[in-house]
Amino acid sequence: MLLTLQRARGASYKNDILYISANSAFRGEKRLFEISGKYLIPYITGLVSLILRLPLLRIPYLLAMKSRLFPTKLRNRLEVSAKRAVVFHPSLSKVFKTGKALIIYHSVTGNTEKVALAIERGVRKGGLEPVFKKVSEAYQEELFDYDLICFGTPVLHAFVPPPVNNFIRKKSRAYGARNQMLVPSPKIPGKIAFVFVTYSGPHIGIDEASPAGMYVKSFFGHLGFDVKEEWYVIGEFRGLGRLGKMYSIRGFLGDIRGRPNAKDLARIEEKTIKAVKSHFTLA
């Protein structure tokens, strides 16, 4: 019995030693993480800021960041470091300025497409070069290659339709895998988004559309885009035969047949021109 007790005590001591060792290792790793977060990241950010300021160093850095000759992980780290540098030193945003805007939209009945075309005209008149694509065509687009993203969607049961949700989820996973979604999510200077939503809302009006807009807005917020504009545009309810026509006449919004009409689209175009000129200093 004494031998059994001694063995038990010995096992207990060993467990205590293992626990203390593991706990010490954990504290050491935690401390190392805190040190790297407190000192290493700012050091790297400062170094990258210096590189981006010097043309002789900046050009090879940017080439390495985009070239497929380098490993994917290295390219991702270079890009993340560059974004951190821009966050800490906003003046560096001019290095990544492209003068281009990407207009992405999904349209089932044509309402959202009409608004997207009006925004495209407004973007061009505002001074940026627009690239116009449906959601299904935009999967391969690198969003950070654009100064402005204009993203449009209709509403389906107070949410975005499946094609829009699939696009956002796939892009979120891709940027997450590349560590392109920083925590916390700082706004990256020079990267701006506009969100536009078309809705009929026969039941409760704009309250039915705003969740879809907030969902898209949060997606761009996680990427670090500053969502400067959020537009909700009334569109005629289409489909469901006679019942659908009734929704466009007797719904919460009254008679919305033919909308968005020429007046609605002219207003959106003018808003876009003003927004682009307001948010971008074009050389």
Distance CA 263, CA 116 (A): 15
The rounded mean pLDDT for the chain is 84
Q: Which residues on adjacent β-strands are paired with residue 247? A: none
Residue with the larger pLDDT of the pair 102 and 200: 102
Q: Which residues on adjacent β-strands are paired with residue 233? A: 198
pLDDT at 144 over 60: yes
Could you read off the pLDDT of 6-58 as tens digits, one per residue? 444 454 444 444 433 434 433 443 443 344 445 566 767 778 777 888 888 88
SS3 assignment for 174-229? HHHHCCCCCCCCCCCCCCEEEEEEEECCCCCHHHHCHHHHHHHHHHHHHHCCEEEE
pLDDT at 138 over 60: yes
* Crossing angle of helices 72-88 and 41-53, rounded to 10°: 80
> What's the CA angle centered on 281, arms 225 and 138, to 5 degrees?
40
Which domains, from first to last, does the chain contain? 2-95 (no CATH), 97-279 (3.40.50.360)
Provide, rounded to the nearest whole percent, the portion of the chain with pLDDT above 90.
50
Quick one: pLDDT at residue 40? 60
Could you read off the pLDDT of 53-101 as tens digits, one per residue? 888 888 888 888 888 888 888 888 888 888 888 888 888 889 889 999 9
